[in-house]
Chain A
Amino acid sequence: QKEVEQNSGPLSVPEGAIASLNCTYSDRVSQSFFWYRQYSGKSPELIMSIYSNGDKEDGRFTAQLNKASQYVSLLIRDSQPSDSATYLCAADGGSQGNLIFGKGTKLSVKP
């Protein structure tokens, strides 16, 4: 059974701090990894994708991938109250093509 594991949180950080979200995946075949943000009552929104080992930066967001450790992380710099949401980590499920999601980490950024 392919799995993606995340700490459910809640993770609480003060405004302006760095929020660090972590995720591990079980299937070494997975090649594509994604972070989605989901506000309460809304649909998941893709914020980062990463395919190669190392860091990928996009504005205040940095995704990190370590395939040897089967580990993916998301750093949010200068966290804002508007970043408060549930963050879902996802990995591709291999040949069938579906994404496997973690259970999400709820982030709360306090003003």
Chain B
Amino acid sequence: DTAVSQTPKYLVTQMGNDKSIKCEQNLGHDTMYWYKQDSKKFLKIMFSYNNKELIINETVPNRFSPKSPDKAHLNLHINSLELGDSAVYFCASSQDQGSYYGYTFGSGTRLTVV
């Protein structure tokens, strides 16, 4: 019973393509997040949603668009992929908006743009 599941686990694609990453959590959490982890392991927030409402939209290119059809799902669509988008993207969820209990992370999606 995977708590936070992401698909796909690996994604190799050419520059200029459009791709999506899907995330689902079965923990009943209200808040979901997308984080980007670069090659130096630095985890940086991209977006957060609380009960389908966008809460955080950090300075990321508008080629990145999150969508939350319900509070258990948060997807990430990326248009016109660039080499610099290569990274590991983690979905996470938390019980509350205040992160008091910390996050549960998905297994990550390793995106490689060639």
Contacts and interface: CB of A to CB of B under 8 A. Distances in A.
Answer yes or no: are A and B bound together in one complex.
yes
B108 interface: yes
B100 A92 contact: yes
A34 B41 contact: no
B48 A101 contact: no
A97 interface: yes
Contact of B42 (A42, A45, A97, A103): A103
B66 interface: no
Contacts of A32: 98-100, 102
A26 to B, nearest CB: 15
A104 B41 contact: yes
Interface string B46-85: 0010100001100000000000000000000000000000
B44 to A, nearest CB: 8
A93 B108 CA distance: 22
Nearest to A40: B41
Contacts of B107: 42-43
A69 interface: no
A109 B40 CA distance: 20
Contacts of B112: none
B97 A97 contact: yes
A64 interface: no
Contacts of A74: none
11 contacts: A31-B100, A32-B99, A46-B103, A86-B41, A93-B99, A96-B55, A97-B55, A98-B48, A101-B43, A103-B41, A103-B42
Interface of A: 31-32, 34, 38, 42-46, 49, 51, 86, 88, 90, 92-93, 96-101, 103-104
